[in-house]
Structure 1
Amino acid sequence: MRRTLFAGLAALATLPAAAVSPPSSVGQLDLETIMANPDWIGVAVEQPYWSADGHSLYYSLKREGSKVRDLYRVDPAGGQSVKLDPAAMAQAEGPAVYDRAHRHAAYVMHGDIFMIDLSSGRRVQVTRSSAPESAPRFSSDGRSLQYRQGNDWFVYDLASGVSGPAAVLRFSDDPQEKKPDPLKDMQLGLFKSLRENKSDKDAARENDDAMMAADPGRAPKPIYLGDGGEPADTELSPDGRWMVVVTKPKGAKEGKRPEVTHYVTESGYAEQQETRVYVGHNDPAPQSLVLVDLKAAKFYPLKTDGLPGIKDDPLKGIRAKTVAALQKDGKADEAKALKAPDVRAVRIISSADDGGGGGIVWSDDGQNVAIQLRAIDNKDRWIASVDFDKHALVNQDRLTDNAWINWNFNDFGWLKDGRTLWYLSEDTGYSQLYTKPLGGKAKALTTGKFEVSHPALSDDGQWFYMRTNQVAPYSYDVYRVPSAGGELTRLTQYQGMDDFALSPDGRQLAVLHSSPYTLAQLAVQSVDGGTPRELTNTMKPAFTAHAWIQPKIVGVPSSHGAGTIWAKYYGPADEAAAASRPAVIFVHGAGYLQNVTLSYSNYFREQMFHNLLVQQGYVVLDMDYRASEGYGRAWRTAIYRQMGHPELEDLLDGKAWLVKNHGVDPQRVGMYGGSYGGFMTLMSLLRAPGEFAAGSALRPVTDWTSYNHEYTSNILNDPQLDPESYQISSPINYADKLQDPLLMQHGLIDDNVLTSDTIRLYQRFIELHKNNFWMSLYPMERHGFQHPDSWYDEYRRIDELFNTYVKPAKQ
């Protein structure tokens, strides 16, 4: 999740973005400028990738005054960038994949598959269809190109230029399957004509089978998988022999979806939009695995009941407590519904759901496959291989967590030998990289109290390249380690490295990097280190000319044994001038997000607002409280079953640090934040009344029973099973404690955190006869605001709140 004083809607006359004058290097900041259309700042370089031949780099830039992205090509040797017009776009390439001999490359462009002969440069368009194709991959023998359209796989033969389905799967019973049928037998026995008709049909079918066996140019016959399920995902083996199919129950119901109302519409009529299901209102549908032998046209269920721990109940203690309470209240049916399953249900994360590349990965030669399974209760992750002779899963790694398995750091794959797995795991408390031979022991390639992510295996299989924060939690760069084990070596020195792409020849890195006031830029560097060559500069002079306050990264000691809470501090250049100033604490959103880094922030508007606050006489602290990303598993899971509690402890420690180290008046500290930051603003004011002079909660969660399943059930379990965790974690249950001025702001068409969250809490305050609370609603905004007028109005109200209730010294 991410992202005046008067209730209701306000129509404000604001300058249009084009008329806003950016601040000079010595001028004063103003809200109209910093909340204007951010095109005046510049544009970030997005999605860089190498051309198929490795001679060029492509990247995207947002077009000024539009959301359209333009594609650029740059020569990494000379640094000249060219914007591609529509004609040049037609000849452009997408991110490429290669055959094992590097004779051919394939890529997706505008939803179609293309192939290039790397020796001649000849390009072939493989598909031209209205339905998008994806996931191109060369077969293990290099003779064909595989790709998918939805859950259907196709094979393009390089020699003939013919494309056809790799398999035809039917999720129904085989109509030709012989089943005992006494009535049918009686009919055939009585009527000669029926026997003759059946004989003709049988002969025709046998002839078709013979013709198909002798003619590989024909489309394959359907394979019938039964009518009990429907496809959720499919993965074809590179040798074309096998397919792993993920199924889910047919017609599984998701539960009722709440709606949001669009009041300002082109039609002039209010319009309804469905959103997402509340947590606990139908858990995600369990999934099953089927191994399909395409050569023999047979299929085999891959049972999960042999996975280690699959029959355990990690929620046993919570379950027993809740069941006992329900039975005591005479709710026997509800208690019975909470019975633990004999075998826990699982899901297989698809490539569309997870940044780690999906839940099924084949070795290059197609001889092995690894499948990542997750328990629906979020407590276990398994990586299993398949025994093709026994048609069975073989566990290779189990990661278990009493709280929940991370949604990050789940990347996995195969080394070039096709017999050794590699994967990320938080087993030690931090995401590290491991290898494991099938049947052998796991080996850690990296160790330490830092996070490893974005692992990329070089084409020669000798190196892993990765992003880590080994130097400091807030500092990220590219590192590499030998795939056989060895020293972890730092390659870049940016400290604000955001992403990278290895060149096709394995000799260069394309690096996206940024800094607190510089949007992501593209550079190229040798994989052996050395001086990078900067390829882009997309910042606007009006922005870079301003003397922005560099955030000072500081360590706030935890008074609750949590160690160091890292934060960004904004204050005057003269530290003595900070004494007795009022302060504002900013709380980032998403919960699991890292905002204290040396990269460009997602909260760039807020960072400019912090500059404005310092200009107005405040100091500002922006903290990575517990649950934030980048600090290991214990930091992430500290909030399990108690959201808003450890985080509040950290925020109060931040306030104490400001008082002790900068002489801030403890009675003049305000707070604000959006989404999870809005939730924490509410928890701070309601659970620690009197600690903060005022707070603004933007698009906040006020009751976790109204949020979605995917996020919430990880941390609080299901509300039916664990009502206590929802009770203590939801601000609405502390509404009676409100005593400090509170401004709530919400987009009316927010389909992430629904506006009903804010409205329901507002009604509670009304019924409790509370004072000094306000609500501001924005008819045209979703969770992340889009319109400069709304951004301006939102922050004008926050600024007025702080200037009214935080800035003045208490009398």
Structure 2
Amino acid sequence: MRRLLLAGLVALTVLPVAAQTPSSAPKLDLETVMANPDWMGQAVENPYWSVDGRSLYYRLKRDGSPVRDLYRVDPASGTNSKLDAAEIAQAEGPAVYDRAHRHAAYLFHGDVFLVDLSSGRRTQVTRSPSPESSPRFSADGRSLQFREGNSWYVYDLASGVTSPAAVLKLSDDPHDKKPDALGQQQLDLFKSLREDRADKDAVHDNEQALAHADPTRAPQPFYLGDKSQLVDTELSPDGRWMLVVTQPAHHDEGKAPDVIHFVTESGYTENEPSRPYVGRNEPAPQSVLLLDLSAHKSYPLATDNLPGIKDDPLKAIRARTVAELKKAGKEDEAKALKAPDLRPVTLYSTDSGSAGIVWSDDGRNAALVFTAIDSKDRWIASVDFTQHALVPQHRLHNDAWVSWNFNDVGWLKDNRTLWYLSEESGYSQLYVKPLDGVAKALTSGKFEVSQPQLAGDGRWFYLRTNKLAPYSYDVYRVASNGGELSRVTQYGGMEQFVLSPDDRQLAVLHSSAYVLPQLAVQGTESGAARELTSTMKPGFSAHKWIEPKMVQVPSSHGAGVIYAKYYGPADESDVPASRPAVLFVHGAGYLQDVKAAATYYQHEQLFNNLLVQEGYVVLDMDYRASEGYGSAWRTAIYRQMGHPELEDLLDGKAWLVKQHGVDPRRVGIYGGSYGGFMTEMALLRAPGEFAAGAAQRPPSDWATYNDSYTSAILNHPQIDPEAYRVSSPITYAESLRDPLLINHGLIDDNVMASDSVRLYQRFVELHKRNFWISLYPLERHEFEHADAWYDEYRRINELFETWVKP
């Protein structure tokens, strides 16, 4: 939803919008608020530095189109230009450099390019229909490595020859196939068969000898067997080793429901397969092979020495469920819940989809990040290349679940010291650890650290943190050998940053409440930021939007304070003694909406402005489970989704009543996805507290959601059915007494529309009143069409006007 348009080419400073009373601005209407977001503008996306570090590239969505155009800006002058097709053909992608800084390489339109930095000469290395990825220089700088899928290639800079680093075959070696009893009898009986077999052996042995003696030949294949499926491969920078991640072939993930398309171009109903429900089958366990590409040997890396790998963190829950099954006479189901002798693991999956494997620059060390399928542990291990074994380096355990975030790992420039993020203190912090030494925290405190980037010279870490306040994010830096954590940028709404090739500048994306991501540049040590883009539409910026106030709501359940955004008139001296209010509930559960940066919920923020104009006040809370407040805040919902969050929402309602004269009988609630789930939980678990609620795309039964998200919080339904029962709105359907509107996209492949239909049927059978459902045939989880946005929020507005405002 962060969409912006380039409104000018001259750099200017973007300032926050001042708080204004809606009456001082033109009246809002729902058609405007829910229009295609192009009327607001377009967000600056994916900035990166040119190869020489003198320019920045970024992309902007084109008005009325999903196409992203490429722009280039000169940070020194602020000169900004949109590139045409001919200019794009000469553009560059994000670059990597060799250690001597003689060459650079980058990807562009899926192909690999090489640049000689002294002459500027550009060489196209690949031109293929399949996209390449992960370009990097070898440790000695003599070759360029890159991958196509799970196949790695090496381009020799001197000769210009490209060769595969290894050839992997998911089959058994045909030469090693041993004859069975009948085959052996044939060989014993027939001399000609024996001679043919001897000839094949001679040819094979000759090919092997030639391959070992002649480096100009393609490498001999590694046969991995037909029982494995490739997940990922990672080549060492020195070209000696390859780590191969596999999982069992043909793993059954369980039956998946279909998404049904009713409105189609063909005119016929069409079915689309979706993802399985949680617990239908566990994710496939993964294994790691170490390939010695020089000696052409392979070694499995066993995980049985990872600390805690043989424990059962669900022992007590498992025992209770097994006892209940046995009591009910379900012996077979009870036996199926037996704990494994060795907990299955997967490699942590990065944003790019590759496994959590990081090589040191010299290729002599590797770090692997494993996560337990039960989500209770994360391990970092190095590789002993002499013993061909994993060496545990760090274990992060959480009785609830280890975060999906904060799993960054890397190496200092000495190639012997790990750096990593860990929540072991309760908050994500940055640590360093020599392979044979003790870990040291480089940062500490009750704030979260993310996006660590090590400078090219290895002296500094630059990172994103909310040290100043939970809602305020900026770039900070700390020396890689320890020292003070110092603030670099001064935005509060910093979102992303990229170091320049010479480590002297930062390209920064920042935003504020009604200014979506803009690009700026500033020095890494000192100096003011230079704004490089101003892409908001004049008509949008001219409106006097309500600046949300950051407030702290006291918790009545021992949670300290709950941070929230309050939308109300700037002047509250002349307001009714009793007025209506609305709680907006953000989605995702683990998401932070109370930030100085632009909100993900642009439509909802404008709708909140409209609600204030119509006489309501609005509160948007970062309830427990939200991001930005540490692991205890996140995991408070373990095995009880919807319970601590509801306590926080009710505290928010009480705060509105006490601080802003809100009528406790006239408070509405709405939200989407997890916010829709919480809307249903609020009405069903606290009947009478809210005058009405609107739930968009809500999960009403967690047993039908996906595995990766749900099993972390509620375990698997076979092991912990009670957690699913107490956490699902459908459990409490009998308690409905307040008006509820449900809106759901029919082709939602995240939260299935069947969730809302099943709850609706429960209401029908329970003879409930004042519940409605609106289904949108062309919308997925994220609505895309302005007509659907308008219809959805027209219904929400009418619900509140009918049941909340009177």
User: What band does the TM-score fall into relative to the shorter chain?
Assistant: over 0.9
Please state whether the residue corresponding to 1:590 is helix, strand or coil. coil
Which residue type is aligned with residue 615 of structure 1?
Answer: Q
Which residue type is aligned with residue 703 of structure 1?
Answer: D
Please state whether the residue corresponding to 1:565 is helix, strand or coil. strand
2:695 aligned residue: 697
Q: Which moved more, 1:696-705 or 1:86-95?
A: 86-95
2:286 aligned residue: 287
Q: Contact (CA 8 Å) 1:24, 1:545: kept in 2 or not?
A: no
Of 517, 536, 539, 1:539 maps to 536
1:587-666 equivalence runs, <5 A: 587-666=585-664
Q: Contact (CA 8 Å) 1:492, 1:529: kept in 2 or not?
A: no
Alpha-carbon distance in 1 for matches of 2:330, 2:205? 61
2:748 aligned residue: 750
1:388-407 equivalence runs, <5 A: 388-407=385-404
Which residue type is aligned with residue 249 of structure 1?
Answer: P
1:511 aligned residue: 508
Alpha-carbon distance in 2 for matches of 1:358, 1:323? 35
Q: Contact (CA 8 Å) 1:24, 1:546: kept in 2 or not?
A: no
Deviation of residue 577 (structure 1)?
Answer: 3.5
Deviation of residue 189 (structure 1)?
Answer: 4.8
Which residue type is aligned with residue 649 of structure 2?
Answer: L
Q: Which moved more, 1:181-190 or 1:112-121?
A: 181-190
1:175-200 deviations in Å (ceiling 9; x for gaps): 22274756555544544433433333
Please state whether the residue corresponding to 2:694 is helix, strand or coil. strand
Please state whether the residue corresponding to 1:395 is helix, strand or coil. strand
1:704-743 equivalence runs, <5 A: 704-743=702-741
Deviation of residue 255 (structure 1)?
Answer: 1.1
Please state whether the residue corresponding to 2:639 is helix, strand or coil. coil
2:449 aligned residue: 452
Deviation of residue 434 (structure 1)?
Answer: 0.2
Deviation of residue 313 (structure 1)?
Answer: 0.2
Please state whether the residue corresponding to 1:529 is helix, strand or coil. coil
2:323 aligned residue: 324
Deviation of residue 102 (structure 1)?
Answer: 1.1
Alpha-carbon distance in 1 for matches of 2:218, 2:70? 38
2:490 aligned residue: 493
2:264 aligned residue: 265
Q: Which moved more, 1:785-794 or 1:174-183?
A: 174-183
Alpha-carbon distance in 2 for matches of 1:736, 1:338? 32
Please state whether the residue corresponding to 2:529 is helix, strand or coil. strand
1:409 aligned residue: 406
Alpha-carbon distance in 2 for matches of 1:552, 1:637? 27
Please state whether the residue corresponding to 1:789 is helix, strand or coil. helix
Q: Contact (CA 8 Å) 2:309, 2:343: kept in 1 or not?
A: yes
Alpha-carbon distance in 1 for matches of 2:778, 2:190? 72
Alpha-carbon distance in 1 for matches of 2:443, 2:246? 36
Which residue type is aligned with residue 237 of structure 2?
Answer: P
Q: Contact (CA 8 Å) 2:248, 2:285: kept in 1 or not?
A: yes
1:351-390 equivalence runs, <5 A: 351-352=350-351, 358-390=355-387
Q: Contact (CA 8 Å) 2:495, 2:509: kept in 1 or not?
A: yes
1:34-61 deviations in Å (ceiling 9; x for gaps): 1001111111100000011111100000
TM-score (norm 2): 0.96
Q: Contact (CA 8 Å) 2:279, 2:707: kept in 1 or not?
A: yes
1:306-326 deviations in Å (ceiling 9; x for gaps): 110000000000000000000
1:14-33 equivalence runs, <5 A: 26-33=25-32
1:459-608 equivalence runs, <5 A: 459-578=456-575, 579-608=577-606
1:278-324 deviations in Å (ceiling 9; x for gaps): 00001100011111111111101100111100000000000000000
Q: Contact (CA 8 Å) 2:232, 2:355: kept in 1 or not?
A: no
1:57-206 equivalence runs, <5 A: 57-177=56-176, 179=178, 184=183, 186-206=185-205
Deviation of residue 358 (structure 1)?
Answer: 4.1
1:219-243 deviations in Å (ceiling 9; x for gaps): 0011122333121111010111111
Alignment CA distance shift 1:81-1:124 (3 Å):
same
TM-score (norm 1): 0.95
Alpha-carbon distance in 1 for matches of 2:119, 2:187? 64
Alpha-carbon distance in 2 for matches of 1:717, 1:529? 48
2:349 aligned residue: 350
Alignment CA distance shift 1:256-1:359 (3 Å):
same
Structure 1: which 5+ runs fail to align?
4-22
Alpha-carbon distance in 2 for matches of 1:670, 1:64? 35
Which residue type is aligned with residue 602 of structure 1?
Answer: Y
Please state whether the residue corresponding to 2:732 is helix, strand or coil. helix
1:143-190 deviations in Å (ceiling 9; x for gaps): 111111111111111111111110011222222227475655554454
Q: Contact (CA 8 Å) 2:653, 2:667: kept in 1 or not?
A: yes
Number of positions where the alignment pairs a residue of Structure 1 with one of Structure 2 = 786
Alpha-carbon distance in 1 for matches of 2:748, 2:501? 42
Which residue type is aligned with residue 583 of structure 1?
Answer: A
Alignment CA distance shift 1:185-1:693 (3 Å):
closer
Q: Contact (CA 8 Å) 2:347, 2:368: kept in 1 or not?
A: yes
Alpha-carbon distance in 1 for matches of 2:720, 2:305? 28
Please state whether the residue corresponding to 1:468 is helix, strand or coil. strand
Alignment CA distance shift 1:664-1:484 (3 Å):
same
Which residue type is aligned with residue 625 of structure 1?
Answer: Y
2:209 aligned residue: 210
1:430 to 2:419 alignment: no
Alpha-carbon distance in 2 for matches of 1:714, 1:189? 58
- After superposition, the CA RMSD in angstroms is 1.5
Deviation of residue 770 (structure 1)?
Answer: 0.7
1:776-802 deviations in Å (ceiling 9; x for gaps): 111111111001111111111111111
Deviation of residue 81 (structure 1)?
Answer: 1.1
Please state whether the residue corresponding to 1:796 is helix, strand or coil. helix
Deviation of residue 212 (structure 1)?
Answer: 2.0
Alpha-carbon distance in 1 for matches of 2:263, 2:184? 67
Alpha-carbon distance in 2 for matches of 1:352, 1:803? 43
1:707-747 deviations in Å (ceiling 9; x for gaps): 11111001000001100000000000101101111111111
1:92-150 deviations in Å (ceiling 9; x for gaps): 11111111111111111111111111111111111111111101111101111111111
1:804 to 2:793 alignment: no
Alpha-carbon distance in 1 for matches of 2:500, 2:60? 21
Q: Contact (CA 8 Å) 2:23, 2:613: kept in 1 or not?
A: no
Q: Which moved more, 1:507-516 or 1:568-577?
A: 568-577
1:757-768 equivalence runs, <5 A: 757-768=755-766
Which residue type is aligned with residue 573 of structure 1?
Answer: A
Alpha-carbon distance in 2 for matches of 1:182, 1:662? 88
Deviation of residue 251 (structure 1)?
Answer: 0.9
Q: Contact (CA 8 Å) 1:350, 1:360: kept in 2 or not?
A: no
Structure 2: which 5+ runs fail to align?
3-21
